[in-house]
Amino acid sequence: MKEIKFVDVGEGITEGHVRKWLVKDGETVKEDQPVVQVETDKAVVNVPAPVSGLIKQNVPENSNVHVGDTIAYIGEASELQSAATKPAAPQQQVPETQNMSVKAREVMATPAVRKLARDLGVDVSKINGTGPEGRIIENDIRSVAHGEVLQSRPIPKFSEVLEEQHEGEVERIPLSQVRKAIAKNMEAAWTIPHAAHMDLIDATDLFDVVQKEKQKVQEEFGVNLTFTPFIIKAVLEVLKENPRFNASYDHEKLEIIQKKYYHIGLAVGSPSGLKVVVLKDVDKKSIIDIAKESHDLSDKARNETITLDEMRDSTFTISNIGSLKAGFFSVPVINYPEVAILGIHMIRDMPVVKDGKIVIRKILPYSLVFDHRVVDGAEAVKFGNSLAKYLEDPDFLEMLG
């Protein structure tokens, strides 16, 4: 008899959610046949059978499992009768407590407060903050540095008060594994001092090139050509000219980690939440390669078949808000721990002044959101000007097309 265990599928994942059994309990399965879908905080993983035989499910759908838990058994009918079924992991809401874990307390302090603690020789991991919801504030650090004992205030449980006031009109909805990951990443990202630069690009020539090449590319390569591959290629050139944007920041060592490879992330909506698919080594790929790969990866994200390897190690991310056919400007959140994210918006006809005359052109709004610890506003403007230079250059676009 063989056990199917939930193993660490990468990225330090410790918990999964049994989303769907792909085979019935007691069914005969073949080696390497997918038998169950497990949702992690990164992706939906199809777990295969390690051997052929009858399967005995050990946990029901919609239950949580941890690394090392036995999901099922595979073997002969006589062997499976002796297999003890483990109770389903209960889905519990973690209660709010006054005594936060060391990790949580470290998160509940701003970078400025943590720097003050380092300067004064105070260990923030040993402090129960007196700020809202246990947050460590500047006065806490100074008080501990002077030998004072902090008196933590009770954390107001506003959610419980709300439920009492609106009994029967409030519902608690547990976060999915992907939604938990998004929440965790957003909290990490919000420790970054965000700043934004926004501008408009005349995308008339870009629009014309795509329209001109679209049918040819579809017929020759079976690929739907969009603006995205051209924007990615332009961003690649801009990153080469402005390498600080192809980096991450190590706040512990106060160092910039400069990347000399170009893995471009694309933000894609999926049924379970926003995911970032990653096109690796775009400097080594053609426009057709990028068009095909971005289409395939986006489809995988929407169909929940994307793998962890296809969503990791990005160096710069693009969020194509324009694909939603709405909005003029937005401020996307940086994909932690990167230095910047580019928001691309819908190309639209707009009146502009060209050679002293008002004409209608195809205008592309963009938002560049950046980590102000690593780059300044002037560098962001330089990035934007370089992006416009490439996307407005007919020769560059024709060369790519």
Residues marked as catalytic: 372
Please state, in angstroms and rounded to a whole number, the distance separating the CA atoms of residues 234 and 132. 45
CB crowding 336-373: b at 16 or more within 10 Å, else e: bbbbbbbbbbbbeeeeeeeeeeeeebbbbbbbbbbbee
End-to-end Cα distance, the chain: 57
Judge contact between 53 and 2, C-beta under 8 A: yes
Helix, strand or coil, per DSSP, at residue 293? helix
Cα-Cα-Cα-Cα torsion 136, 141, 146, 151, nearest 10 degrees, comes to: 0
